[in-house]
Amino acid sequence: MSDRLRISAKNLGEFALPDLCPRCAWIKLRYRLPYQIFPGIFSSIDSYTKKVVHGWIDRHGTLPAWLAELGPIDGYIDPPHHSQFQLEIPEYGILLTGAPDGILRLSDGAVAIIDYKTARYTEGQDRLLPMYEVQLNSYALMAERLDYGRVTKLALVYAEPVTDRAVAEGAVSAEGFAMGFSVSIHPVGIDPGILDPLFQRARELYDLPHPPSGREGCEDCRRLDSLIAGFGDG
Ligand code: SF4
């Protein structure tokens, strides 16, 4: 085992995806990529959803009706920044980091952890579900070890834009227009046992001195190789 591997709960979750490319994963573990292709608007909407939920709890002391199945609650814990939400996994020389979207204080003294997803809910068909399950179970492990409380519920909260024409016609205001969201909850099972094999896989990959082979038939790597070969000719 070489130096400490720092990995976010979400990146650890990628190791649960069946189509993970080991070469891409190795590069992401070892280097900061020079660009970020994930559009920032989704993070903005997730952050807005958090403000909507916390604002409602502050005013009413309960969850909005569309989250009621997660309760009853006593309140919420302000989600910690990822610099404050970290856990050493000494067996694998890993520092696990994360930033949960929501931590609810349940009335029975336990806590629920939720993650907002701005996406259409497809009843468990989301290709990324295995990644999200690892992400939430990582948060549960961290929350318990860092004394946030006993975690008894995990859930993904999907917020899907309502784009019907009838709704759109009534959405215009003097300042611009509003967009509504319909919410669906996907409960996630608590299963800390899924994390260990992924810690091990991430560690083994990180320790490889050279990048492993990429995904069979991936055009992007073939193009990159041609590009590098072209620079070599210059
Ligand atoms: S094979 Fe494709 S997915 Fe894998 S490293 Fe290359 S570009 Fe990334």
Prediction pTM value:
0.91
Query: Residue 33 in 3-state DSSP?
Result: coil
Q: Which residues line ligand 1 (CB under 6 A)?
A: 21, 23-24, 214-215, 218, 220-221
Assess if residue 131 is contained within a domain. yes
What CATH number does the domain containing 89 carry? 3.90.320
Q: Is residue 54 part of a domain?
A: yes
Task: Please give the number of the atom of ligand 1 that sits closest to the Cα of 24.
Answer: 5
Tell me, what's the pLDDT at 41? 84
Q: Range with the lowest mean pLDDT among 32-41, 139-148, 170-179, 202-211?
A: 32-41
Using most ligand atoms within 8 A of CB, pick from 14, 19, 24, 205 the residue to mutate for ligand 1: 24
Nearest to 118 by CA among 170, 166, 176, 179: 179
Minimal-distance CA residue to ligand 1 atom 4:
214
- Helix (H) or strand (E) holding 137, with range, is helix 129-145
What is the reported pLDDT for 68? 96
Q: Which atom of ligand 1 is nearest to the CA of 21?
A: 4
Q: Which of 208, 195, 190, 10 is nearest to 91 (CA)?
A: 195
Residue 129 near residue 99 (C-beta atoms within 8 A): no
Model pLDDT, residue 168: 87
pLDDT category at 120 given cuts 50, 70, 90 is confident
**124 inside domain:** yes
55 lies in a domain? yes
How many domains is the chain partitioned into structurally?
Answer: 1
**Is residue 165 included in any domain, yes or no?**
no
Using the Cα atoms of residue 143, residue 145, residue 149 and residue 155 in order, give the sign of their dihedral: positive
Domain assignment present for residue 139? The answer is yes
Give the domain extent around 195: 5-156+185-233
Torsional sign, CA 176, 179, 180, 183: negative
Q: How far apart are CA 84 and CA 89, in angstroms?
A: 16
pLDDT band at residue 38 under the 50/70/90 scheme? low
Q: Is 162 part of any domain?
A: no
Atom of ligand 1 nearest to the CA of 213: 1
Place of tokens 């989301």: 126
Token pair recorded at residue 86: 């970290």
Looking at the domain assignment, is residue 217 inside a domain?
Answer: yes
Instruction: Please tell me the distance from the alpha carbon of residue 223 to that of residue 119, in angstroms, as a whole number.
Output: 31
Give the Å distance between the CA of 222 and the centre of ligand 1: 9
State the pLDDT at residue 208.
96
Position 223 pLDDT exceeds 90: no
The pLDDT of residue 33: 75
The pLDDT assigned to 4 comes to: 92
Condensed to tens digits (0 to 9), the pLDDT of residues 53-78 reads: 999 999 999 999 999 999 899 999 99
Q: Pick the residue with more confidence: 147 or 233?
A: 147
Cβ atoms of residues 105 and 73 within 8 Å = yes
Share the mean pLDDT of the chain.
91
